[in-house]
Amino acid sequence: MPTYQLFATTPKAMETILSDELRALGITHIKATLAGVAFQGDLETAYRACLWSRTANRILLVLSSFEVKTQEDLYNGVQKIDWFEHINPEDSFAVSFSAKNSEAINNTHFGALKVKDAIVDQMRDKFQIRPSINTEQPSIRINVYLNGETAQLSLDLSGESLHRRGYRDVNIKAPMKENLAAAMLLRSGWPQIAKQQGSLIDPMCGSGTLLLEGAMIAADYAPGLLRDYFGFTGWKKHDAECWKKLRAEAEQRKKIGMEKLPVIVGFDQNRQTVNTALAHIANADLQHKIHVERRDIENAEPAESWKPGLLICNPPYGERLGDEQETAELYKKFGASLKAHFIGWKAAMIISNPELGFRLGIRSQKPITLFNGALECKLLRLDIEESNFFIPKARTQEERIAQVTEISKAQEQRIAQATETRPAPQLETTGTDKEASVSGAKSIAYRDVGKGRELGAISFTDRDISEPVAAEMFANRLKKNLKKLSKWAKQNHITCYRVYDADLPEYAVAVDIYQGEQTWINVQEYEPPKSIDQHKADQRLAGLLAEIPRVLGVNSDQVFLKIRRKQKSTDQYEKHDDQGRFHIIEEGGCKLLVNFEDYLDTGLFLDHRPIRLMIQQQAKGKSFLNLFAYTGSATVHAAMGGAASTTTVDMSNTYINWAKKNMALNANEGEACRSQLTPLAYIPVGAHEFIQADCLEWLATEAELPSKHYDLIFLDPPTFSNSKRMDEAFDIQNDHVQLINNAISLLSPGGVLYFSTNFRRFKIDKQALSDFIVEDISAATIPEDFARNPKIHYCWRIKE
């Protein structure tokens, strides 16, 4: 057999694991590169890698390398290969093309078409017939990688990614791929544990991936045995006898290995997930070897007869749950379960937030970096022994005890330098309510417009903050979020967005970026519980305030600090100062006024951005009613979207005037604005009405005898209110049915009501509203910058 140049691709950070795996298969001349391993061998070597590799994605057989300085160089290089040696004219093929640092071709779709044309043209010229394109399971799949001016053309022997073992239902999306699960097991020492008959437990088994990969490793079960398709089976140079021999050898090894399997058990609290895992296990013919049952994490404990071995799992990362506090509590319970029931065992888990690992209260070995898709994660490996137990210092947001016991000198110097160059807020207190006032914008670094404890009652320089708690974790998360969200914002023409929302429980702040004639940063600190040591909380706040200007590239006087407390009935949109400083920002072609100093909120709810844009898209030629309108931003969107008329109702004279200013700001432009979504017309001011009134009272009166009907209504009431202008207290949960009924009565035939609330525990009364078409569109209205907090608001589209 001839010797070929081969290349095995693998996820980033798994190259060493794959190299070790290939060596174990008897393969030599191995060279690890980024996201892959190069090696040499004959067809049997290549087939063996396809059949046995647990961590590779694809096995590529290099056919040619050539120089590409122009597009025609690519075409000519492909044509130099005699394709009749590889496929017949009536066969099918597919092309995968990627490029890096290439001036000749930077469009991968164009590159793939160029390769396809070269092959088709050659076959058609020779045989007057052309092969067909099949992107699913072609006779052969061609892979071209163009790096600078060098192209490498290969035959993809795997055909489709090797992580597809054949046991998984293709319609079920898994939280991790099979080759990542195998890498976790290999790096956690499972092969050695299994040889000693140690047990394997996954207490959060999901669809069973870790259990199945663990069983296949322990049973010497080739991961490619279940696959019915490889990229070489339709190749003209395929050696069917060699492949048949390798499969027979693998079947025999599996038969022997199945007799030696140790205890393998999985638990999951979701019944449907357990059923899915059982189906996958049956597909792999392991139903008599793996046990799965429904059980929550607190009750996941081993039987006395099970030999201590490896507990392994893929717990929630925090990215997968909207509430990171819930995730932190899960890790705390998990750690307690490990300490109570698994002493003498080893444990391994993959996490994306190292802080959550501390919640376990068990010291780990040095973490190993792995990637779950594009998400960088750490594989924690633990020896469950009492000598490794400690009391976790990480806390949930409610518990958030801001205390860091070990700060490196580098961190201390960095924070000290940051706080020296950007002095902390100097705040004065006035009156018995300790209301904060700003002592001159030019003389302070951060403008605190909060109230009460919220730094208004303290001066940082009056406190001993010689060692402000290092905020490196906060800074790193902020950088990570900024890198992702700034690109998304630019692509979607968004200038104001949330870049951090209490991602780390210890740094419970929200950070919003507003861009206009300059950039402003609005920081809201969620008020810590009274049980938290305020001095420590102030230290944490000082640390993160030092980081924000540095990471976001702004001056410290562009950062505004506010304290967000649990809302009381008298606090809604509370006014904190009377500076009257407004700034202009743009959203969807609309110019809007925001204020960072006078109110707890800025005048623009960023999480409602998709709803406003939706209204803008649908408003053309329609009449629009905006109830509980706040500063009227939705009204401006409707008007700029071409609404025939708008009516804006709010009880606050301040916000009605603000809404009028927002409208005038756009109407007075004197020329059409253009949104990325739809052409916008000049706003005729006379078609727009602003009403200062108790919305509940106004709506009830209009519902009895409507003076006008509307094609589009936006209803965004407060959670509760007992303003002095209202006779009775309003509660959204108790009063929403009547409120919606009243609003529906003002709809024109075919009209649409959008109802939204930010009450996290809200439950809509579907039975009481059964006469209407009620569609939950909450998920579609949560923007990317609020994706980690899906409970930021709920929204329904309601029609008669």
Domain 178-223+254-388 has CATH 3.40.50.1820: no
Q: 549 by DSSP, 3-state: which?
A: helix
The confidence score (pLDDT) of residue 298 equals: 85
In the prediction, which pLDDT does 562 show? 80
Q: Kindly report each contact of residues 509-515 with a partner whose C-beta sits within 8 Å and lies 24 or more positions away, as own/partner.
A: 509/541, 509/544, 510/564, 511/478, 511/548, 511/552, 512/602, 512/606, 513/552, 514/583, 514/585, 514/594, 514/596, 514/602, 515/585
Q: Are 232 and 159 in contact (CB under 8 A)?
A: yes
Domain 591-799 in the same topology as domain 178-223+254-388? yes
What beta strand segments (E) does 519-657 contain?
519-526, 559-564, 583-587, 590-594, 623-627, 645-650
Rounded Cα distance, 350 and 112, in Å: 36
Residue that the structure tokens 């009749």 belong to: 84
Sheet of 519-526: strand order equals 447-448, 559-564, 519-526, 509-515, 496-501
Structure tokens at 60: 């590529």
385, burial (CB in 10 Å: exposed 0-12, middle 13-18, buried 19+): middle
If you ran DSSP here, which 8-state letter would residue 223 be given?
T
Which string of DSSP letters, residue by residue, matches 114-125? HHHHHHHHHHHH
DSSP state of 729: -
User: What counts of helices (H) and strands (E) characterise the chain?
Assistant: 19, 33
pLDDT confidence of residue 170: 72
The DSSP bridge partners found for residue 451 are 435
| Rounded-to-integer distance, Cα 704 and Cα 693, Å | 17
AA letter at 49: A
CB 103 within 8 A of CB 70: no
- Among residues 97, 138, 137, the alpha carbon closest in space to that of 117 is found at 97
228: amino acid identity, one letter: D
In sequence order, what are the beta bridge partners of 33?
36
| Assigned CATH class of 591-799 | alpha beta
Instruction: Tell me what pLDDT residue 27 has.
Output: 94
Are 623 and 710 contacting, i.e. CB atoms less than 8 angstroms apart?
yes
| pLDDT given for residue 400 in this prediction | 33
Q: How many whole angstroms separate alpha carbon 314 and alpha carbon 178?
A: 12
Torsion sign over Cα 402, 406, 411, 416? positive
Fold of 409-564: Transcription Regulator spoIIAA (3.30.750)
Cα distance from N-terminal residue to C-terminal residue, the chain:
74
Given a contact cutoff of 8 angstroms between Cβ atoms, the answer to whether 635 and 619 are in contact is no
Distance CA 551, CA 546 (A): 9
Residue 143 phi, psi dihedral angles, 5° rounding: -115, 125
- By the 8 A CB rule, do 107 and 258 touch? no
User: What are the φ and ψ backbone dihedral angles of 710, each rounded to 5 degrees?
Assistant: -130, 145
pLDDT confidence of residue 319: 52
Distance CA 769, CA 698 (A): 22
- CATH pick for 4-156 out of 3.40.50.2000, 3.30.2130.30, 3.50.50.60, 3.30.1490.190: 3.30.2130.30
What ranges make up the beta strands (E) of 148-289? 150-156, 200-202, 264-268
β-strand pairing of 92-100 with 132-133: parallel
3-state secondary structure of 461: helix
d(CA 503, CA 471) in angstroms, rounded, equals 13
Positions in the chain short of pLDDT 50: 320-322, 393-469, 565-578, 669-682, 723-727
- Scored b (16 or more CB within 10 A) or e, 667-705 reads beeeeebebeebebeebeeeebebebebbbebbeebbee
Give the pairing of strands 200-202 and 310-313.
Answer: parallel
The four Cα atoms 296, 301, 307, 311 give a dihedral, to 10 degrees, of 50
- Report pLDDT for 496: 98
CA dihedral 536, 334, 186, 154 (to 10 degrees): -70
Q: At what angle do helices 178-187 and 15-24 cross, to 10 degrees?
A: 80
Tokens 């623009």: give the residue: 604
The C-alpha atoms of residue 353 and residue 331 are separated, in whole angstroms, by: 12
Strand pairing category for 747-757 and 710-715: parallel
CA 71 to chain CA centroid, Å, is 37
54 and 182 in contact (C-beta within 8 Å)? yes
> Which segments within 109-159 are labelled E, that is strand?
132-133, 140-147, 150-156
pLDDT at 597: 85
What single letter denotes the amino acid at residue 551?
V
What residue ranges do the domains of the chain occupy? 4-156, 178-223+254-388, 409-564, 591-799
What is the number of other CB atoms lying within 10 angstroms of the CB of residue 345? 22
What is the pLDDT at residue 171? 74
The 10 Å Cβ neighbour count of residue 8 is 29
